[in-house]
Structure formats: C-alpha cells, structure tokens
C-alpha cells in the first residue's frame, strides 16, 4: 500500500491552474498570485493550510499560511509574490492541527466548567513535542528569535502545563496564552501532512510581456532616397520618429537575403523586373540563410549599431522568425531531406489554396531528419539572441509542430527568461490557445475582424474574464502588411482613429503596421481583398512621414495616455457598460485599488454622429450617487462635471470619434466650486 493512511487531509480544486499542471499560468515579475483550494478532512479537527512555492531550479520552498475563504465551505486562500522572470512552482499543504484542535476544545471545556486535569496533560505532551521539533531546528524562527530560545520557552510551557502544583486556572491561562499559540504555529507537527501533487507551474515574464506598443516598418523603405534600398543606418535615423510617438518595440520583417527563384513582383505578380526586391519572407540566397543579413541592408556591425541605438531611444528591436526557405536557401541544397518532394522530383512550395507561394518552401517536419531540423531552427533563434535580440515575432507558428515550439521556447527561455515571443497565428481559437500554453508570450488575435458592440463585448470577455486570461496575452493590431480590413478601406480617417483607440485601450499590448497606418493607407489591391495595393511585401515604398494629415499626433497622445495610466497597462478589470446606442461602445479599466480609472467611449460608425446615455457604474468606481465627479477627456484635455449614474455622451466623425476619460472624485468643496 503506497498511501499513508495517516494523511487525512484532502486538497482539491486548486486555482489557478491549467490542465492539472500540464501547462503554466502566466504572470509578470512582482505580481502577487492569489491561490485558492478546497481543503478538508474527516471528523471535526482543526486544520492548518499553507501555500508553498519555489523557483523551479531550486529545492527549498517558501511557505505562507492560507486562511479560510470569506465564503467558507472548506475553501482556503493565500497569495505569494513572484520575483524575477523565470519558472516557479507552487502547491498547497494541509494537515490536521492537533494543538489547534486541542486549544479549541479546551476553551469549550472551560466554558462548560469541566475538569481539565487530563486535557492539560495532553497539552503538555503536545508542547513538549514542539520543543523537540524546535530543538531539532526543523523550522526557522522569525522576529529575531532563534530555535534554541523557542525550544527553551516551549520546555518551560510544557512543564507549567504538566505541573499539578499549579492551579488549573493558571495552567489554562498559560495554555491559551497568545505567545504559546504563536510558538506552536511556528513548529507545527506536519508528520502526516498532505501536499497536493503535482506542483503547479507559473511562467514569470518581464513587464513588457504584459504592456507594450509595437511599431512595424520595412527597413528597405526607410531610405530618404526613393531610388535607394534602405539600410540599418536608415532605420537608425528613423528611431527618433518611432520613439517620440511613445512606442516600445520596433518590429522588422525578415532582414535576411531574399531568393531570386520564383521571385514575386509588385502586387504579387509572377513576372518581377530585374530591380524588384522580392518578398522578405522568401528567405535565403547566395549571401546565406536565416543567420545572414540582406546585403543591401548593411553588415553585422550595422545591425549591432541598430540594436544599441534602439536601446538608447528606449526601444527594443523585434525580429521576425519565419521558418521557411526560398528555393535559393543554402539548406535547400545542403539538406534536401528537410523539404517535401513531389512525384516529379521538385520540392513542394507553400500553398494555402487558392493562394500559392511559389517563392517559399516549407520545411517537412515529418522527415527522417526532423531532429537535426529542430536543432538547426533552434540555433537560428539562439544566434540572434547572442546578437542582443530579446523579442521575436514568429510567422505562422501554427503551421509547425506544437512539440517543436514547446521544446524550443522552453529551452531558450531556460537560459533567457526575459525573451518575448509574439505568435502570428491567425488560425482557429484552440490552436491559438495551445500555442500560448506551449510558451508563446503574446499572440495576434481576431481583433481586426471584430466590428460591432456585441462582437467586442463577447470576444473581450472571453479573453479577459475566463481561464483564457491565465495563459493568453492578446496583442491587438488594427492592420498588418497582410491585412487591410474593409473597415479601414471604407471608413476613412474616422475609422482609423476609432480602430487605434480601441486597440490601445482595450488591450495592454497593441501594435500597428506603422507608416501605412500613420498615413491612412486604405486602397486594396482589388475589391474584396485585404491586401494593400502596391504592398511593401512585394516592393520598396517611400513614405512622406511629414504629411500634414498624418495620425502621428493621435498615436503620440494615445501612447502617452497609456504610459501615464496604470489602468491601461493590464487586461485585468476590463468592464463594458450600458449605453443606449448600438454604435457607441463604452468600457472601463481601473487599477486594483481604484486610484486610476479610465472610461472609454468609441463611436463605431465612421459616417455619422451618435449620442447616448451612458450608465456609469458608481459602485464599481467608488462614486457617491449624490456627489458630482469629474471626467477629463485625455485626448482633448476637456473636463466635464458629471453626477449620478446616467450621463449623456455625443461623438461625431471629424470632431471626436472617441472619448478616453480619466474619472476622478471631487474630494473638496473648492474642487466643486471651480466649476461654478
């Protein structure tokens, strides 16, 4: 019999956890994790329960007492704070507390006027046992005490309880002395404790995993000379533009050599000209593969200068990881076994019917050389990590095996827990969520295709108020080089304003395909297409960032608001609020202590103005129904005085597409009088 029948405590329903510990929940450094569990035993004994946690590579656990849940029902709760990034493990331990049970019964017997002689002898034995545990240094004392001193105090208490020459009243008073109770709790008898198995994992990331603003640009389009290919030095010159807008991460599509075989021309044509640069995701050529640089962008010294310059501007560089190859990639000749051959002897190019990507070969992860392929792909990421890159945007991870990502990301983050991986996985929900569980830090989402009040409410509730929030960090992008949604095609500037306000205030992580969004690029390749006309994917572009109608002021303002308001730096406590117009979406975020409240209202209609009565959740915001309060529009600095739950809001395209209100209580009479 493997079970110890003396372990009487049952531990069930520990939260948070994912699939019985198969996957880790996610937090960031400094977070306090609240853990709850059902803990009970047979009979009527008192229990002691504590929360145990440790760094995964460590063996010594830290313990924190758990307390009965406020709602009772054998539910217990406790919390612990995670430190630096890495993996941690936590669990719950519970045991029958004989001394606590004895003390409880002793009080009852005193109230009933019963004889206590035998009970005090039992108590003396329990205290003497604790003395032995203290003398054996099985627990650490706190508050300047030492186990030796504690053992001496316990020995004195045991002798006092057992001394028949002392009155029962005095011995009882000594038995229930708070000092003795504290000593007994310091050296509990856990010989038959139950420890829940398995330990549950948590991955702790740095703060940027939870809160970030991404800006994407193509290096080849950064040259001030439209006739010249952009370089890393040109990107360095662009850094002040990106940093001044307040973005955190500059994301570059693949920076590697581009194949010439089956190269695509402008607008995905199959007949490129001699100067057409090709698609950056068709990786590999005469100059090398995934660890080589596009010759026209510069040298490795230039790249290192870019990494350093970005850091000087408060930016991090994110590189694209696209595990595929052009027909000219060195691996196509050196490792043909890593690709799938067709009956005619040619290698199968990538397809997503009816789309064809003749310039790209996918890897065959079912080949006999899969182990060597895994190692080679891992070495690609390790190479760029050695060059100072800590953020990766991963192209189409859902088309590679789940097992590979779990192995590769786990291996890389074991040495570099600060790494961030963004999954470009526009695929089915369960697949997206699986990738997040396997290790991806953030993920693209369906935000682009959510357009109505009902769709936003349902989708954001799923992302932020269900178990999904324990492992999936959404990153909202209103556009990408692959996606020009019809709302932007048809909605003009008002829709561009609405979509970026939604992205920046609904999600703590958001990003834009930069120049195209700044300059309101909205022409599709053909009707019904989400591809841009003259897309940068296929050609070099020249962007006039000084255009007077640029969205740069709005983007700068939004990022400043996000940095100034902690409520917007997390996806927690997002709430949607009733407003009696179907085209007005109202929602709020607030900090845990309620010191920062941001209330956003967006007009989803780019063509017409809308007005409605907003129901402000006074109790949630800690507002008095009889007292006025202030709302300041952070986009315009206009301030309004509201009172009560129902307040009128009006938004009109061309004047104001959204309000981003800071909600503030008026605490003094002078503040109220300032409004006249």
Catalytic residues: 395, 424
Angle at 611 between CA 662 and CA 573, to 5 degrees: 35
**Helices H, strands E: what count in the chain?**
17, 30
Q: Taking the CA atoms of the chain, what radius of gyration do you get in angstroms?
A: 31
Q: What is the DSSP string of 446-484?
A: SGGG--SHHHHHHHHHHHHSSGGGGT--BEE-S-BTTB-
Structure-token pair, residue 472: 């999936």
* Of 628, 666, 537, 72, the residue nearest 276 (C-alpha): 537
Distance between CA atoms of residues 352 and 611, nearest Å = 44
Cα 255 to chain centroid, rounded: 27
Structure-token pair, residue 414: 């074991």
Distance between CA atoms of residues 597 and 589, nearest Å = 6
Burial of 70 (0-12, 13-18, 19+ CB in 10 A): exposed
Angle at 261 between CA 260 and CA 266, to 5 degrees: 65
In a 13 Å sphere around the CA of 469, the CA atoms on its Cβ side amount to 16
Q: What is the DSSP string of 392-424?
A: EEEE-GGGS-HHHHHHHHHHHHHH-TT-EEEEE
Distance between CA atoms of residues 65 and 50, nearest Å = 4
Is the separation of the CB atoms in 359 and 262 below 8 Å? yes
Distance between CA atoms of residues 301 and 232, nearest Å = 10
Structure-token pair, residue 352: 């997503």
- The H or E element spanning position 556 is helix 552-564
Structure-token pair, residue 331: 């691996």
Is the separation of the CB atoms in 519 and 547 below 8 Å? yes
Distance between CA atoms of residues 35 and 529, nearest Å = 48
Burial of 507 (0-12, 13-18, 19+ CB in 10 A): buried
Distance between CA atoms of residues 37 and 22, nearest Å = 18
Q: Which 3 state secondary structure label does DSSP give 391?
A: strand
Beta bridge partners of 512: 215
- The H or E element spanning position 320 is strand 316-321
Structure-token pair, residue 247: 């973005």
Task: Enter the DSSP assignment of 426.
Answer: -
Is the separation of the CB atoms in 132 and 139 below 8 Å? no
- The H or E element spanning position 109 is helix 98-112
Provide the edge-to-edge strand list for the sheet that holds 32-41: 9-15, 32-41, 75-81, 67-68
Q: Which 3 state secondary structure label does DSSP give 553?
A: helix
Structure-token pair, residue 608: 């017409």
Is the separation of the CB atoms in 603 and 579 below 8 Å? no
Distance between CA atoms of residues 244 and 509, nearest Å = 18
DSSP collapsed to 3 states, 321-342? ECCEECCCCHHHHHCHHHCCEC
Cα 560 to chain centroid, rounded: 21
Structure-token pair, residue 47: 């229990």
Q: Which 3 state secondary structure label does DSSP give 62?
A: strand
């Amino acid at each position: 019999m493997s079970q110890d029948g003396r372990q009487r405590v049952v531990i069930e329903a520990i939260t948070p956890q994912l699939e019985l510990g198969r996957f880790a929940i996610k937090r960031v450094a400094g977070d306090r994790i609240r853990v709850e569990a059902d803990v009970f035993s047979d009979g009527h004994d008192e229990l002691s329960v504590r929360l145990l946690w440790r760094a995964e590579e460590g063996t010594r656990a830290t313990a924190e007492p758990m307390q009965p849940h406020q709602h009772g029902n054998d539910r217990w709760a406790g919390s612990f704070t995670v430190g630096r990034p890495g993996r941690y493990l936590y669990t719950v331990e519970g045991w029958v507390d004989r001394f606590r049970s004895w003390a409880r019964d002793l009080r009852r017997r005193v109230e009933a006027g019963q004889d206590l002689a035998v009970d005090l002898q039992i108590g003396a034995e329990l205290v003497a046992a604790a003395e032995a545990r203290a003398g054996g240094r099985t627990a650490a004392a706190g508050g300047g005490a030492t186990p030796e001193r504690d053992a001496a105090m316990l020995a004195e208490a045991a002798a006092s309880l057992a001394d028949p020459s002392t009155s029962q009243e005095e011995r009882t008073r000594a038995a229930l002395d708070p000092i003795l109770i504290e000593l007994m709790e310091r050296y509990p008898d856990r010989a038959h404790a139950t420890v829940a198995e398995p330990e549950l994992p948590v991955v702790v990331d740095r703060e940027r995993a939870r809160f970030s603003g991404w800006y994407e640009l193509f290096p080849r389009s950064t040259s001030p000379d439209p006739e010249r290919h952009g370089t890393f030095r040109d990107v360095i010159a662009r850094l002040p533009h990106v940093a001044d807008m307040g973005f955190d991460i500059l994301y570059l599509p693949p920076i590697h050599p581009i194949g010439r075989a089956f190269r695509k021309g402008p607008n995905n044509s199959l007949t490129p000209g001699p100067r057409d640069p090709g698609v950056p995701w068709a990786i590999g050529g005469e100059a090398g593969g995934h660890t080589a640089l596009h010759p026209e962008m510069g040298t490795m010294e230039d790249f290192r200068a870019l990494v350093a310059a970005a850091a000087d501007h408060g930016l991090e560089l994110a590189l694209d990881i696209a595990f595929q190859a052009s027909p000219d990639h060195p691996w196509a000749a050196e490792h043909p076994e890593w690709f799938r051959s067709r009956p005619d002897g040619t290698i199968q190019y990538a397809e997503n019917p009816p789309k064809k990507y003749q310039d790209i070969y996918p890897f065959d992860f079912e080949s006999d050389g899969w182990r060597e392929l895994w190692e080679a792909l891992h070495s690609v990421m390790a190479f760029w990590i050695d060059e100072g890159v800590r953020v990766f945007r991963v192209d189409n991870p859902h088309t590679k095996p789940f097992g590979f990502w779990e192995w590769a990301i786990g291996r890389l983050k074991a040495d570099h827990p600060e790494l961030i991986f963004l999954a470009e996985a526009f695929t089915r929900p369960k697949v997206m969520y699986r990738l997040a569980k396997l290790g991806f830090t953030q993920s693209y989402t369906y935000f682009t295709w959510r357009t109505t009040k009902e769709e936003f409410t349902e989708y954001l509730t799923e992302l932020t108020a269900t178990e999904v929030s324990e492992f999936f960090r959404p990153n909202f992008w209103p556009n990408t080089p692959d996606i020009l949604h019809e709302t932007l095609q048809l909605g003009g500037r008002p829709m561009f304003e609405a979509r970026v306000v939604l992205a920046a205030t609904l999600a703590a992580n958001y990003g834009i395909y930069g120049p195209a969004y700044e300059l309101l690029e909205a022409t599709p390749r053909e009707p019904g297409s989400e591809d841009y006309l003259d897309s940068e994917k296929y050609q070099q572009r020249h962007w006039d960032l000084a255009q007077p109608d640029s969205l740069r002021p709005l983007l700068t303002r939004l990022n400043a608001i996000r940095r100034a308001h902690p409520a917007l730096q997390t996806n927690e406590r997002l709430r949607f609020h009733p407003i009696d117009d179907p085209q007005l979406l109202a929602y709020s975020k607030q900090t845990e202590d309620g010191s920062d409240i941001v209330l956003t209202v967006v007009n989803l209609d780019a063509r017409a103005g809308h007005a409605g009565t907003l129901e402000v959740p006074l109790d949630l915001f800690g507002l008095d129904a009889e007292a006025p309060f202030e709302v300041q529009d952070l986009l315009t600095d206009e301030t309004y005085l509201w009172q009560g739950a129902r307040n009128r809001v009006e938004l009109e395209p061309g004047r104001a597409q959204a309000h981003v209100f800071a909600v503030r209580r008026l605490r003094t009479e002078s503040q109220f009088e300032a409004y006249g």
